[in-house]
Amino acid sequence: MNSAALALESIDCTFGSREDASQRYTALRGATLRVAKGEFVSVVGPTGCGKSTLLNVAAGLLSPSAGSVAVFGEPLSGINSRAGYMFQAEALMPWRNTLDNVIAGLEFRGIGREEAQARGRDWLKRVGLAGFDKRFPHQLSGGMRKRVALAQMLILNPQILLMDEPFSALDIQTRQLMENELLELWGADRKSVVFITHDLEEAISLSDRVVVLSAGPESHAIGDYTIDLPRPRDVAEIRLDPRFIEIHTRIWHAMKEEVLKGYERQQRQ
Amino acid sequence: MSGSKDSRGWKARVRLKFWQGFLLGLLFVLWYVLTSPTLLPPIYFAEPNQAAFFFGEPLKVAERLWRWFASGEIYVHLWVTLVETLLAFLIGTVLGVIFGLWLALAPAASALLDPYIKAVNAMPRVILAPIFFVWFGLDIASKVALGVTLVFFIVFFNVYQGVKEVSPVVLANARMLGASPRQLLRYVYVPSAMSWVFASLHNSVGLAFVGAVVGEYLGSARGVGYLIHQAEGFFDMNTVVAGIVLLTAFALLLDWAVGVLERRLMVWQPRAVETERT
């Protein structure tokens, strides 16, 4: 896979204090993830298995202890400028209104304010927030803030989307709406996506491929499943498809043991 | 519906203002009754006008204030004190913001200077006044310097804390969106620290006045602190209290101005929402 949009090869990630070796924690050990151009890949795994760590390595926010990261064949150093990142937590700047948040990336690139605002308004319309330009993040609902974050990322037209449980804080209805919108936006120009989630149903309904990580510490990929469900999909309806249930059962069998391991480890702490 | 809610809120505000004013009036009446030489028999003090000697009398204080403004003799003193206060406030704030940002973003410098900053902050800095007189003379510069040392640390520690508490997610997001270190400073660190700066400004307004007045008190030929000091020399308690009332009023005014500026600049901050009973 030379043409991979993103290739993480045998990544090790060890955190900890230099003074106290017992405080060390190896989140990832030999984790490998490759994402082809235009492919939607979900990474699932039990809590605390280092999913976010893996994504931060791909984003260039974290440099791995060992292993290599390549973006379109070139080794990554520093921030991954070809990737957009959608965070699990609130990442909007609370002191900027909706429009100013969406155009922040354009502003950082030195694009003129008028052009940036025109493009920003267009993106707000595309995520269903036309007319909300002047609101501040605290005046929006959780779902609306996620839409702003989505527009903020997509306005820069990144070739790779890194998404860290972006919809986990939303209620189930809003979440399915957002998932469908994400699929629609993605379907328009097929970027490469790495989507982190702990929700297997979400992973299957969105993705071309689902990668399962083992329970931490020293997580690595233990399963790789191709999802051959037809597109375009409706995330609410596809869950009732017999093929969906078949795939779900298969992956869940592989995951169950790891989930229990992760749960036990948490109980012991 | 919203009209009636508005008027109810307005009524509640008026009622609150009324009771606040009532409390002030009550305090004045109490002060008047307790210090008047003729109204009450001496309870605690042996002489009937000793209470007035120690605490002043409200009517005479008011008269003093009136004569100050009517004759115009207060303006030059008030002007000097206000200039000292505002200069101390502005210089202290600007220096505090700059040093706070710098040290918060330069861990090595921060670690190196940490014990010194703690030492200077722990020092009772009012005793620097005589040294400032030697350095800057008895004019306003020495008072401004004293005020700056008081204001600086409050703002400095708040900005430092504010920068340390910038949300790491917002920061990571800005970096992913392509912000350079300089842009991070301008678009993330500074706005994020602003709410802390404003919190500290309310505290430091009072301290800027302390710097100015204590400086004048210790050595000067003009200013409200000088007037108070002089009046004390003659045991003229009414003038001392009049000076204190005047300073308090202007400190409140400056605090109000900071509040107005805060509301203008911090529109993005969520305010506590109150539900109303219908």
Write down the domain spans for chain B: 1-55, 57-265
**Which residues of chain B make contact with A61, given a CB cutoff of 8 A?**
172, 175-176
Write the pLDDT tens digit of every residue in A184-213: 888 888 899 999 998 899 999 999 999 988
| Token pair belonging to B137 | 């003379």
Name the H helices within B187-236: 190-218, 224-233
* Confidence class for position B14, pLDDT limits 50, 70, 90: very high
Question: Chain B contacts of A95, Cβ < 8 Å?
Answer: 191-192, 194, 268
Is residue B172 within 8 angstroms of chain A, CB to CB? yes
Joined together, the tokens standing for residue A64 give: 């791995």
Q: Is the pLDDT of residue B19 over 50?
A: yes
How confident is residue A172, by pLDDT bands cut at 50, 70 and 90? confident
Nearest CA in chain A to B189: A93
Local structure of residue B69 (DSSP, 8 states)? H
pLDDT in tens, B145-182: 999 999 999 999 999 888 888 899 999 999 999 999 99
Residue in A87, A93, A136 closest to B188 by CB: A93
Q: Which residues does chain B have within 8 Å of residue A92's beta carbon, measured at their own beta carbons?
A: 170, 173
Closest-CA distance of chain A to residue B148, Å? 29
Q: Which residues pair with A209 in a beta bridge?
A: A41, A226
Instruction: Inform me whether the C-beta atom of residue B179 falls under 8 Å from chain A C-beta atoms.
Output: yes
Distance from CA of A100 to the nearest CA of B (A): 11
pLDDT at B277 over 60: no
Cβ contact (<8 Å) for A87 and B172?
yes
Say which residues have a Cβ less than 8 Å from residue A19's Cβ, sequence separation at least 6: none
CB pairs under 8 A between A and B: 71
- Segment (H or E) for A27: strand A25-35
Q: Return the amino acid letter for A212.
A: V
Report the chain A residue with the minimal C-alpha distance to residue B175: A79
Answer whether residue A126 shows pLDDT above 90: no
Helix (H) or strand (E) holding A25: strand A25-35
- Å between A161 CA and nearest CA of chain B: 11
Say whether pLDDT at B39 is over 80. Answer: no
How confident is the model at residue A162, as a pLDDT? 94
Model confidence pLDDT, tens digit, residues B43-82: 666 676 777 777 888 888 889 899 999 998 889 999 999 9
Distance between alpha carbon A79 and the CA centroid of its chain, in Å?
16
Q: What is the CB neighbour count within 10 angstroms for residue A61?
A: 20
Q: Which of A27-31, A208-212, B45-49, B224-228 is least confident?
A: B45-49
Strands A209-213 and A221-226: antiparallel
Q: In angstroms, what is the C-alpha Rg of chain B?
A: 24
Give the pLDDT confidence of A93-121 residue by residue, as tens digits: 999 999 999 999 999 999 889 999 999 99
Would the pLDDT of B272 be above 80? no
A129-147 residue pLDDT tens? 888 888 999 888 888 999 9
Q: Is the pLDDT of residue A65 over 90?
A: no
Q: Is the ipTM of this complex over 0.90?
A: no
pLDDT of residue B2: 47
Taking the Cβ of residue A104 and every Cβ of chain B, the question of whether any pair is shorter than 8 Å is answered with yes
Mean pLDDT of the residues in chain B: 86
CB of B5 closer than 8 Å to CB of B26: no
CATH class of the domain whose range is A6-82+158-268: alpha beta
Of B169, B177, B191, the CB nearest to A152: B177
Could you tell me if A109 lies within 8 Å of chain B, comparing CB atoms? yes
Nearest to B83 by CA among B144, B132, B153, B128: B144
B57-265: CATH number: 1.10.3720.10
For A193, how many CA atoms within 13 A lie in the half-sphere containing its CB?
A: 27
Compute the nearest-CA separation of B11 from chain A (Å). 27
- Alpha helix ranges (H) inside A27-103: 51-59, 98-102
Find out whether A45 and A214 touch, Cβ atoms under 8 Å: yes
pLDDT digits (tens, 9 = 90+) for A244-263: 999 999 899 888 877 787 77
Which pair of tokens denotes residue B92?
Answer: 């202290």
pLDDT for the residue numbered B26: 94
A84 touches chain B (CB under 8 A): yes
A92, A94, A105 member nearest B178 (Cβ): A105
- Secondary structure of residue B180 in the 3-state scheme: coil
Percent of chain B with pLDDT over 90: 34
